[in-house]
């Protein structure tokens, strides 16, 4: 079951990070927060093909989300069709 408050917190943190990604021609799309507290995102624009995207995801986005919301266990990039 989705925790609406947790989802709102995650989306808020992502909104705070988004301008930094957009400044480099990228973006991020929130997909879901799983029952085991993994946040699934999709990297867009330049972030989608950047060779440093995993570093951005783990050292940037994941670190910020976990720092703000300690109950989050991790952040993963997913591809959607």
Global confidence as pTM = 0.87
- Taken in order of first residue, the domains within the chain and their CATH numbers are 4-77 (3.30.300.130)
Give the pLDDT confidence score for residue 49 in this predicted structure.
74
What tens digit of pLDDT does each residue of 35-75 get?
999 999 998 887 777 777 777 888 889 999 999 999 999 99
What six digits make up the tokens of 44? 């867009």
Question: Which residues, in sequence order, are bridge partners of residue 44?
Answer: 27
38-45 and 26-33 beta bridge pairing: antiparallel
DSSP string, 55-71: HIIIIIIIHHHHHH-TT
């Amino acid at each position: 079951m989705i925790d609406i408050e947790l989802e709102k917190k995650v989306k808020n943190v992502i909104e705070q990070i988004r301008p930094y990604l957009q400044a480099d021609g990228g973006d991020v799309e929130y997909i879901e927060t799983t029952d085991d507290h993994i946040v699934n995102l999709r990297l867009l624009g330049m972030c989608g093909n950047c060779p440093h995207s995993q570093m951005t995801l783990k050292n940037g986005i994941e670190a910020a989300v976990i720092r703000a919301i300690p109950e989050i266990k991790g952040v993963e990039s997913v591809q959607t069709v």
